[in-house]
Amino acid sequence: MKKTLSVLLAIVLLLPSFTFASPYDDLIDNARVFQMGIMGQGRIDLDKKISREEMAAIAVRLKGLEYMKDFQKQSTPFKDVKGWSVPYINIAYDMKLVNGVKKDFFNPNGKISYGELLTVLMRILDYEDGVDFKKYPEDYYSKALEIGLGNLYIPHDEVVTRGIAAATINKALDLKMKNSDKNLSSLQGSYYINIPGTSPNAEDYIVDNKVYMRDLNFNTTIVGVFSGVLMGVSDFSEYKVVLLSKSDKILDSMILGRNGKFSIENFDISTLSKLQGYKYEIYSPSGNLILWDNLD
């Protein structure tokens, strides 16, 4: 035994260029995905397989729609869906980000293939079934490679782990939405990142926490009203809400106070403005665009 150990030690010493991969390598590379909470809370578990209900929740978070789960009914069109995932699956299904496996079955505990992961992420990026891709998996896989999302070395039918999902989502965050100059990360806000083995000072990386909106009210029936409450940061002082037309004409804006509440009223609701449509943008005190969406 001692002789065997001596031989192994000698071999290692003769290979000075050999290095061992850090167990944190994947985590460091994709830290923001976990820090954003996109993968959920709790253990990181890079090797754990992703389920269909977990993918629905991830899709909702990436689309910036998690605030809607509190207003979702607990009823669902799927007979096999219950518990925590009901609102996430309802939202993801209504937004056409995910599909059921049958008319009234979702198979929430089923595993996700790499091709299915790419499909959901491309839908989040506003690519459309039947328009940007038609035949599965060929068209979907090819499109993912074309836009820089897919990895040629991962087969479309490989079951996805949380590590693969995080790495793919990390790429998606830097991709531009279809027909837009804004990337997916603009839906997420900004985050503190604390990477194991690096400086403990999170401010060396990214500042501002995730921001989302609750109690959204938008009405153009009699007078223009756009109101709501921003959530996710303890102090919204000096944050700015801007109301625009979809042609990028600024209609009104408001600098917020600490509580994040805002109300913009009496903006243009002429027929022309209604035809153009409305949208909003939220800016941090440093002037960074951290949240935006259409108002339909």
Q: Is the pLDDT of residue 72 over 50?
A: yes
Q: Other CB atoms closer than 10 Å to residue 243's CB: what's the count?
A: 22
Q: Is the pLDDT of residue 15 over 50?
A: no
CA atoms of 35 and 31, how far apart (whole Å): 6
Q: What is the predicted pLDDT for the residue at 208?
A: 42
The pTM is what?
0.60
89: pLDDT confidence band, cut at 50, 70 and 90? very high
Q: Look at 12-26, 175-189, 225-239 and tell me which has the smallest mean pLDDT.
A: 12-26
Q: Where are the beta strands (DSSP E) in 70-224?
A: 212-219
Q: Is the pLDDT of residue 19 over 60?
A: no
* 293: enclosing H helix or E strand: strand 289-295
Q: What is the predicted pLDDT for the residue at 68?
A: 79
Q: Provide CATH code, domain 211-295.
A: 2.60.40.10
Q: What is the predicted pLDDT for the residue at 186?
A: 74
Q: What is the predicted pLDDT for the residue at 112?
A: 96
In the predicted model, what is the mean pLDDT of residues 205-222? 71
Measured in whole angstroms, the distance separating CA 255 from the mean position of its chain's CA atoms is 26
Q: What is the predicted pLDDT for the residue at 194?
A: 41
Q: What is the predicted pLDDT for the residue at 253?
A: 94
Q: Is the pLDDT of residue 5 over 80?
A: no
Q: Other CB atoms closer than 10 Å to residue 207's CB: what's the count?
A: 14
Q: What is the predicted pLDDT for the residue at 232?
A: 76
Give how far Cα 280 sits from Cα of 95, 233, 270, 290, Å.
20, 19, 18, 11
Which of 72, 219, 237, 53 shows the shortest CA–CA distance to 228?
219
Report the DSSP pairing between strands 240-245 and 278-283: antiparallel
**Arithmetic mean of pLDDT over the chain:** 81
Which of 135, 39, 38, 56 shows the shortest CA–CA distance to 97?
56
207: pLDDT confidence band, cut at 50, 70 and 90? very low
The per-residue pLDDT for range 21-70, each reduced to its tens digit, is 343 455 556 778 887 788 886 678 889 999 999 999 999 999 888 877 77
Q: Other CB atoms closer than 10 Å to residue 147's CB: what's the count?
A: 19
Which of 198, 199, 175 shows the shortest CA–CA distance to 185?
175
CA atoms of 112 and 267, how far apart (whole Å): 46
148: pLDDT confidence band, cut at 50, 70 and 90? very high
The per-residue pLDDT for range 222-254, each reduced to its tens digit, is 899 999 998 877 788 999 999 999 888 899 999
Percentage of the chain lying above the pLDDT 90 cut: 50
In the predicted model, what is the mean pLDDT of residues 92-114? 94
Q: Is the pLDDT of residue 92 over 70?
A: yes
Q: Other CB atoms closer than 10 Å to residue 96's CB: what's the count?
A: 10
13: pLDDT confidence band, cut at 50, 70 and 90? very low
Structure token digits, residue 89: 């699956």
